[in-house]
Amino acid sequence: MNRTQHCNELRPEHAGQTVTLVGWVHSRRDLGGVLFIDLRDREGRTQTVFDPADLSKEVFETATHLHSESVIQLTGQVRLRPAGTENSKIPTGRVEVLVKELVVLNNAAVLPFPVDDPEVANKVNEELRLQYRYLDLRRPEMIRNLRLRSKVAIATRSYMDGQGFLEVETPTLFKSTPEGAREFLVPNRREAGTFYALPQSPQQFKQILMVSGVERYFQLARCYRDEDLRADRQPEFTQVDIEMSFIDREDIYSLIEGLLKRVWKTALDVDIPTPFRRISFEEALNRWGIDKPDTRFGMELVDFTEDFRASSFKVFSGAIANGGVVKALNAKGLAGATQGQIETMTEYAKSFGAKGLAFIKVENGEWKSPIVKFFSEAEKAALTAKLNIEQGDLILFAADQWLNACEILGKIRLYCADVLKAQGKLVIDPKQFNFLWVIEFPLLGFDREMNRWYSSHHPFTAPVAEDIPLLKTDPKKVRGQHYDIVVNGVELGGGSIRIHQPDVQKTIFEDLLQIPPDETQSRFGYMLEAFKYGAPPHGGIALGFDRLCAILCGTTSIRDVIAFPKTAKGVCLMTESPSPVTARQLRDLHIEVKAAPKKDQPGAPAQA
């Protein structure tokens, strides 16, 4: 087509030129017989004018009947907008095109929701937007998100290439490795009862690539997890997946710091300072009550175990006698918390098995709380000093085993921050990005129900070298060479230095995770075998690419940065997948379905 410019390009210096533009009818206004159409393409908008004095009756008639979002081509003359009618909000706001010719390339039917309303995302329910995703994607914010995602992908590739990495694609038809999240299975037509699985991550292939001598691998890898979806999860998502040989943790830190520096500069023109702060898992829990701390605001947790060890308040001293701790935080300015807000926080505490929530409201010169009468003067003085207690504060306590106490207050801290933000008492600069590494995670956690250890990260993570002897004597104390990268309270990714010695790997599988030897063989045999033939020391990391893009776009939902996302139920509302298949397809796959989908669900057959 003979388009001469995009719709964002015309400026006063084009006045007098004849131009041809193509695009969608964004909006129309009829002003005293003269018709104004804002024409939009991917790049922007231009105001065009249909004046009956300049046009054939037929063309003018056609223009009058154009529906929003019809696709047109028009040719006309650029002119300056009359003084006082300029629009400083758009780059083409000082000019307009006086239309001479119009070609209707396609008419649009009446729309299910207006595309030109900047408030669509707030007004129209998301399900409707997902059903008509192609219309939703026409909105400038969504195009901006796709553009930014594309830029970030290209910047990532270019940076990794510059660092000597090879982009290698690994299979998405993989073997079932039933640990961690539930997998999507793909039946094998050629052998009844056998299945592929869609990979949860390319973990095993990337480690094998190190055995192959690739040395530096990366991939923008599609991964699949069949989990019940939480607010910002998707059953399929993208990771920037990385693995390197002959390195240690420091190499990973500096590689990723360099990558994120490049990405932030490219996407937002923001210089992020490096190196990033490092915080041990223990410190993260102790101070922020979570392993992905948001350090943009205070309200840190403070320990009072020693102050209350001999307290006459038995809830505290009893917890301490049981090997627990007492911790507290000061929600500054929240003494006016409503009953409902206190109940929400109490529910958090209860969800961790606590009986209730102890708190003090500091109002009208008084400490209002039924527990204060049990406190000694020394205990009160310790609280005042360490928590800097002032009028208007709300003090919240947790007395429990260490991890529980930290996590309870960690959740409450984030909740209080949300309340304070909504009240305008806590203001966070949207351009502030607090990056940090969380390190020194415990290698293993203990599953009481199953009475066995489980890997905190995954079973390929190497223990910190000096802790290896503890694997046999005190596994709880073994730290893993695992690291998470966190920004503003969001876990952007994680990885580890791997075990590359087959005997250590076998000990982890069989002695600690208690996977029976035959199962170890059937699930991981090929990996243990590969490691026998010269596996270099190696390590890697994966960053959640969707989440990365969401942070850069300033949105809280990864659906906003995925072209065709699924709902929380894993449904694509546009294509109505998942959907039933024919009896013949099932027969070919040797599958018999016992329960048919409910009729009213998307994807149910149209006929009975």
**Which stretches of the chain bind ligand ASP, using CB under 6 A?**
201, 203, 494-496, 540-542
Nearer Cβ to ligand ASP (55/221)? 221
Q: What is the 3-state secondary structure (H, E, C) of 384-429?
A: HHHHCCCCCCEEEEEEECHHHHHHHHHHHHHHHHHHHHHCCCCCCC
Cα separation, 457 vs 180, whole angstroms: 10
- Closest approach, Cβ 282 to ligand ASP, in A, equals 21
Cα separation, 515 vs 520, whole angstroms: 6
Nearer Cβ to ligand ASP (304/524)? 524
Asked if residue 70 lies in contact with residue 36, where contact means CB atoms within 8 angstroms, the answer is no
- Closest approach, Cβ 242 to ligand ASP, in A, equals 7
- Alpha-carbon distances, residue 40 vs 32, 60, 132, 469 (angstroms): 23, 19, 19, 66
Cα separation, 287 vs 409, whole angstroms: 10
- Closest approach, Cβ 140 to ligand ASP, in A, equals 33
- Closest approach, Cβ 229 to ligand ASP, in A, equals 17
- Closest approach, Cβ 494 to ligand ASP, in A, equals 6
Cα separation, 143 vs 162, whole angstroms: 28
Nearer Cβ to ligand ASP (201/488)? 201
- Alpha-carbon distances, residue 500 vs 165, 241, 496, 509 (angstroms): 20, 19, 12, 13
Nearer Cβ to ligand ASP (199/289)? 199
Cα separation, 485 vs 437, whole angstroms: 5
- Closest approach, Cβ 173 to ligand ASP, in A, equals 18
Asked if residue 237 lies in contact with residue 558, where contact means CB atoms within 8 angstroms, the answer is yes
Q: What angle do CA 533, 535, 541 make, to 5 degrees?
A: 150
Nearer Cβ to ligand ASP (319/485)? 485
Nearer Cβ to ligand ASP (256/405)? 256
Q: How far is CA 538 from the centre of its chain?
A: 27
- In three-state secondary structure terms, 434 is coil
Nearer Cβ to ligand ASP (330/455)? 455
- Closest approach, Cβ 540 to ligand ASP, in A, equals 4
Q: What angle do CA 502, 503, 504 make, to 5 degrees?
A: 95
Nearer Cβ to ligand ASP (346/461)? 461
- Closest approach, Cβ 42 to ligand ASP, in A, equals 34
- Alpha-carbon distances, residue 485 vs 156, 252, 304, 550 (angstroms): 16, 11, 30, 16
Cα separation, 153 vs 130, whole angstroms: 24
Q: H/E element holding 276?
A: none
Nearer Cβ to ligand ASP (203/520)? 203
Cα separation, 455 vs 524, whole angstroms: 15
- Closest approach, Cβ 407 to ligand ASP, in A, equals 21
User: Closest CB to ligand ASP belongs to which residue?
Assistant: 201
Nearer Cβ to ligand ASP (325/499)? 499
List, in sequence order, every residue forming a beta bridge with 240; answer none if it has no partner. Answer: 220, 543
- Closest approach, Cβ 267 to ligand ASP, in A, equals 23
Nearer Cβ to ligand ASP (241/407)? 241
- Closest approach, Cβ 199 to ligand ASP, in A, equals 9
